[in-house]
Amino acid sequence: MITAVVYSESGGTYKTTMTANLAVALHRMGLKTLVLDLDPQEGNLTSLFEAGGRRSDPDADNLVKHILDMPDGSFDDLVETTAEGVDIVPSHDMLGDFTSNLEQKISYETGMQNMSREEYPRFELLYDLLWETEGVQEEYDAVLIDPNARAEDLLYNAIFALRTLVAPVKPAGKGNLSLDGLGELVGNMERQLDIEVGLSCVVPSGVGQTNAHQQYREQFENTPEFATPVSIGNRESLMDAMWEARGSAFKVVEERWKTFERDGEMVSEPGQRRVRDREIETLRKLYALAYFIATETFDADVDPLLDVTVDGETRRIDLRETREVTTA
Ligand SMILES: Nc1ncnc2c1ncn2[C@@H]1O[C@H](COP(=O)(O)OP(=O)(O)OP(=O)(O)O)[C@@H](O)[C@H]1O
Ligand SMILES: [Mg+2]
């Protein structure tokens, strides 16, 4: 079972795009993959994948009701299958009120059971739901979570349930290696909850061509403190098109989505993009990242071949070869 929370201390470090790309890469490796979207805000994984049609309907059954053990239906009915084959439990507005709903539940249950509030296992609820109540491990090979880093209760539930982190980082300012916040979080979690939390890898993302950015990338790649299997360049045009294609970077490239101006208006359409080699290289890196997590962190046996088909021409990427891309 492959499980990872895509975590970052700061906002806008490309967590959501990274989660979508990792999930699709894992799926293309032959793994049945589920993603949980714990972020109720706009621009979340749910909107990227065009899921969660009832996310603003307070009466709709949703993940919060299941985490709090008050479901209105079956867990399977929450799951939607995206166009690229990845399954998603979509976000819901109720995630924004998670803590107050949780506090009510804790008051009620501790009152009934003569238990102190501190004893209540508030961070273990998602773990219980996924692995004990629903047996998600029977149906899926991989589970990823895009959490809401600002909501401690949900973030802790995510980490307690999945135990492993993948951390995208973005070069900022002078860019230094400080991942103190991450180390602190992991340490706190481990002490407080008496569990082990692993950092699978760090992924420098949005790395530009400037000296400062390149130095930042090298620092990360050369540190022995954590694994940095790949760095993702500044790929704004490719990644932004994901939000129009409603899917992964693999979809953008294969369907050739592009955003452009037509008669004074911005439009996005498939079949328009001129796919550049560096974009195929970015797909190779995303696939290599998923491969690293699957094989190095979790010891899974997965397919190292990625076929990317653009305009009827298939390019085969073999991660076991140093040669970057070949034409199949
Ligand atoms: N490698 C990249 N280079 C440049 N831009 C990127 C890259 N990856 C993603 N982006 C763009 O950056 C923006 C923010 O990405 P994303 O929504 O994934 O960040 P996030 O960490 O999930 O943000 P939040 O903290 O708000 O949840 C998006 O418009 C996305 O298309
Ligand atoms: Mg996000």
Ligand 1 proximal residues by C-beta, below 6 Å: 11-17, 39, 43, 205-206, 232, 234-236, 239-240
Burial track 277-299 (b if 16+ CB lie within 10 A, e otherwise) = eebbebbbbbbbbbbbbbbebbe
Whose CA is closest to atom 13 on ligand 1? 14
Percent of the chain with pLDDT over 90: 79
Whose CA is closest to atom 31 on ligand 1? 240
Structural domain of residue 167, as residue ranges?
2-235+291-299
In a domain, 268, yes or no: no
Q: Report CA(135)–ligand 1 centroid distance (Å).
A: 32
* Tally of domains within the chain: 1
pLDDT in tens, 219-236: 888 888 889 999 999 999
User: Given this model, what pLDDT does residue 41 score?
Assistant: 94
**Given pLDDT bands bounded at 50, 70 and 90, which one contains residue 293?**
very high
- Which residues, 6 or more positions from 152, have their beta carbon under 8 angstroms from its beta carbon? 99
Q: Where are the alpha helices (DSSP H) in the chain?
A: 15-28, 45-48, 63-67, 98-113, 125-127, 136-139, 152-162, 180-193, 211-222, 236-245, 249-255, 277-292
Q: Residue 161 maps to which CATH number?
A: 3.40.50.300
In a domain, 136, yes or no: yes
Whose CA is closest to atom 15 on ligand 1? 14
pLDDT in tens, 87-130: 999 999 999 999 999 999 999 999 998 889 999 999 999 999 99
| Choice between 238 and 188, residue whose per-residue pLDDT is larger | 238
* pTM reported for the whole predicted model: 0.95
User: Given this model, what pLDDT does residue 322 score?
Assistant: 67
In a domain, 126, yes or no: yes
In a domain, 280, yes or no: no
As a whole number, the mean pLDDT across the chain is 92
In a domain, 252, yes or no: no
Q: Report CA(47)–ligand 1 centroid distance (Å).
A: 13
